């Protein structure tokens, strides 16, 4: 008897700012849509634990997509994308998420993302609070400078290994070896997009003057950050949450910047608390 | 009691040479680096994934490709079985603590996978400061 996972994968084609994207996503569950964004230079396998979590997928329709240029989502099919340097902007990133949610006919979803996915969650809460039931920015901050580096795609080194080992100690030493090495492996596959993703993460994303305009009462914002995250350390996330009206901050002990991928059993404890808070605040 | 730096060097060499993760991709892991631990300087010469030489008393103009420099207290944190947050790797300590890496960064990047694994062996053998 074959051991099939309940997770299924599909492609959907959408147009975003004139770019034709054939987007791959994984899905499992029923109920409230929970849309999940992987970290920069990575892909949706980071959400493998959540996608197969029987308890959470009983009440949540978990959708983890590959952003274009990552995993199984190609760069745009209607552009000569290889002729220009990839730099992800906040505007395009936000537009992509809205178009994807429209295409999948998701009503009032929760959006959760980690790292550059967490930062875009803050952008969504600011720009489109009426489109989302809530957002869960994981390992996020209003501003996260310092990681837009040439080393991620330097032609004189093995970019795959530089990206994978360059983010190695973003993970906690306590996280299981297998999960840390799987995360390393995913990172070895995404080096061509990593630097361009980090243009958004460290350069184009700057909400320091805008956090006060996010209304966590209209769109609840529950931030979560691991104590071993050196890039967005806990105090940065806490400081961000404090400036958001109604913002919530949860500190995750003994975990790092890729919590859903490096140690899902621990991450899910905190995620369940975040979902409980959202349910309490939205009454659903 | 002052730590025996030569005994430490032998242990670090043995751990490196028997590490399976380094061994799985050992070929071309060739570079020379210094650990500057405030009270001790050590030059490690690697060749194809094996320690070729560890110099525990380098002279002032002995060559290396890159050097990791931090206080002795930071090195002692690196060497704990489970380091505290922000002492759990070279990037963490560069961003948030007093570690600096100087020299030819390109050579570090070219060898980053294996160097990262080897650096974490300090959690097993400690540091001589």
Q: In angstroms, how far apart are the furthest CA atoms of chain A? A: 57
pLDDT at A284: 61
DSSP letter at A8 equals E
CA distance A180 to B21: 13
- Whether B27 contacts chain A with CB within 8 A: no
Average pLDDT over residues A57-67: 98
Q: Is the separation of the CB atoms in B61 and A146 below 8 Å? A: no
Other CB atoms within a 10 A radius of the CB of residue A277 amount to 16
Mean pLDDT along residues A90-99:
98
**Pairwise CB contact (< 8 Å): B112 & A161:** yes
CA distances from A240 to A215, A254, A255, A260, A277 (A): 13, 21, 19, 21, 18
Classify each residue of A23-56 as buried b or exposed e, where b means 16 or more C-beta atoms within 10 Å of its C-beta. Answer: bbbbbbbeebbbbbbbbbbbbbbbbbbbbbbeeb
Give the tokens for residue A279.
Answer: 């349910």
What is the full per-residue pLDDT of chain B (129 aa) written as tens digits?
567 999 999 999 999 999 999 999 999 999 999 999 999 999 999 999 999 999 999 999 999 999 999 999 999 999 999 999 999 999 999 999 999 999 999 999 999 999 999 999 999 999 999
Mean pLDDT for all residues in chain B: 97
Residue among B31, B82, B85, B117 with most chain A CBs within 10 A, to mutate: B85
Long-range contacts of B77-84 (CB under 8 A, 24+ apart): B78/B119, B78/B122, B78/B123, B78/B127, B79/B122, B79/B123, B79/B125, B79/B126, B79/B127, B80/B123, B81/B123, B81/B124, B82/A173, B82/A174, B82/B123, B83/A173, B83/B123
Task: Pick the residue from chain A with its C-alpha nearest to B90.
Answer: A169
Nearest to A224 by CA among A202, A253, A245: A253
How far, in Å, CA of B126 to CA of B57, rounded?
18
What is residue A1's predicted lDDT score, i.e. its pLDDT? 87
Q: CA A103, CA A33: separation in Å to the nearest integer?
A: 13
Test A169 with B112 for CB contact under 8 angstroms: no
How is A67-99 classified by DSSP, letter by letter?
A: PTTBTTBPSPTTS-GGGS-----HHHHHHHHHH
Contact A162 B109 (CB under 8 A): yes
Quote the mean pLDDT of chain A: 97
Model pLDDT for residues A215-271, shown as the tens digit of each residue: 999 999 999 999 999 999 999 999 999 999 999 999 999 999 999 999 999 999 999
Q: What is the pLDDT of residues B15-45, one digit of tens each?
A: 999 999 999 999 999 999 999 999 999 999 9
In A129-281, where do the E strands start and end? 134-138, 222-226, 248-252
- What is the pLDDT at residue B2? 62
Global pTM reads: 0.97
The pLDDT, as a whole number, for residue B3 is 73
Flag whether the ipTM exceeds 0.90: yes
Distance of alpha carbon A249 from alpha carbon B52, whole angstroms: 50
Pair A22, A53: CB distance under 8 Å:
no
Structure tokens at A180: 């840390």
Query: In 3D, which of A214, A211, A281 has the Cα closest to residue A240?
Result: A211
| Candidates B89, B104, B108, partner chain A, best to mutate (most A CBs within 10 A) | B89
pLDDT at A283: 86
Tokens at A47, concatenated = 């959400």
Task: Collect all residues of chain A within an 8 Å Cβ-Cβ radius of residue B89.
Answer: 168-169, 230
Per-residue pLDDT, averaged over A46-50, amounts to: 98
Provide the pLDDT for residue B40.
97
> Which residues of chain B make contact with A176, given a CB cutoff of 8 A?
none
Give A159→chain B minimum CA distance, Å: 9
The pLDDT score that the predictor gives to residue B18 is 98
Q: pLDDT, tens digit, for every residue of A191-211?
A: 999 999 999 999 999 999 999
pLDDT in tens, A150-197: 999 999 999 999 999 999 999 999 999 999 999 999 999 999 999 999
Count Cα atoms within 13 angstroms, Cβ side, for A76: 17
Using a CB-CB cut-off of 8 Å, the residues of chain A touching B106 are 154, 156-157
Residues of chain A in contact with residue B123, where contact means CB-CB under 8 angstroms, are 173
Contact between A230 and B109 using a beta-carbon 8 Å cutoff: no
- Give chain A positions within 8 Å (CB) of B116: 165, 168-169
- How far, in Å, CA of A67 to CA of A62, rounded? 16
A154·B109 Cβ contact <8 A = yes
Q: Which of residues 147-166 of A touch B (CB under 8 A)?
A: 151, 154, 156-158, 161-162, 164-166
The answer for B 36-55 residues in CB contact with A (under 8 A) is none
User: Is A170 within 8 Å of chain B by CB?
Assistant: yes
Residue among B88, B109, B123 minimizing CB distance to A228: B88
Closest CA to A74 of A24, A26, A14, A17: A24
CB A231 within 8 A of CB A115: yes
């Amino acid at each position: 008897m074959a051991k099939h996972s309940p997770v299924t994968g599909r492609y959907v084609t959408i147009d975003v700012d004139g770019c034709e994207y054939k987007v791959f996503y994984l899905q499992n569950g029923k109920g409230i849509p929970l849309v999940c964004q992987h970290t920069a230079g990575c892909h949706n396998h980071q959400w493998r634990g959540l996608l197969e979590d029987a308890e959470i997928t009983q009440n949540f329709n978990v959708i983890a997509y590959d952003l274009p240029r990552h995993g199984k989502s190609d760069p745009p099919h209607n552009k000569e994308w290889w002729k220009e340097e990839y730099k992800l902007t906040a505007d395009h990133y936000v537009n992509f998420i809205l178009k994807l949610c429209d295409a999948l006919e998701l009503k009032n979803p929760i959006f959760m993302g980690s790292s550059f996915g967490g930062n875009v969650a803050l952008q969504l809460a600011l720009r489109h609070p009426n489109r989302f039931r809530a957002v869960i920015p994981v390992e996020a901050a209003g501003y996260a400078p310092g990681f837009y580096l040439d080393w991620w795609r330097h032609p004189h080194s093995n970019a795959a290994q530089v990206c994978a080992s360059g983010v190695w100690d973003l993970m906690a030493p306590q996280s299981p070896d297998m999960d840390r090495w799987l995360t390393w492996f995913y990172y070895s596959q995404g080096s061509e997009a990593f630097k361009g993703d980090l243009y958004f993460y460290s350069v184009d994303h700057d909400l320091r003057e805008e956090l006060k305009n996010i209304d966590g009462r209209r769109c609840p914002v529950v931030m979560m950050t691991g104590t071993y995250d050196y890039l967005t350390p806990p105090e940065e996330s806490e400081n961000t949450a404090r400036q958001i009206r109604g913002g919530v901050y949860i500190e995750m002990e003994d975990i790092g910047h890729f919590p859903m991928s490096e140690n899902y059993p621990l991450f899910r404890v905190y995620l369940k608390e975040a979902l409980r808070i959202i349910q309490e605040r939205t009454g659903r | 009691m002052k730590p025996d730096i030569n005994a430490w060097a032998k242990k670090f060499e043995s751990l490196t040479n028997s590490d399976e993760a380094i061994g799985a991709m050992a070929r071309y892991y060739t570079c020379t680096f210094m650990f500057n631990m405030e009270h001790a300087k050590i030059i490690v010469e690697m060749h194809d994934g094996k320690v070729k030489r560890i110099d525990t008393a380098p002279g002032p103009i002995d060559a290396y490709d890159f050097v990791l420099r931090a206080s002795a207290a930071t090195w002692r944190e690196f060497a704990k079985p489970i380091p505290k947050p922000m002492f759990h790797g070279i990037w963490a300590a560069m961003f948030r603590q007093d570690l600096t890496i100087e020299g030819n960064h390109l050579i570090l990047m070219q060898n980053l996978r294996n160097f990262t694994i080897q650096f974490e062996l300090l959690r097993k053998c400690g540091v001589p400061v």
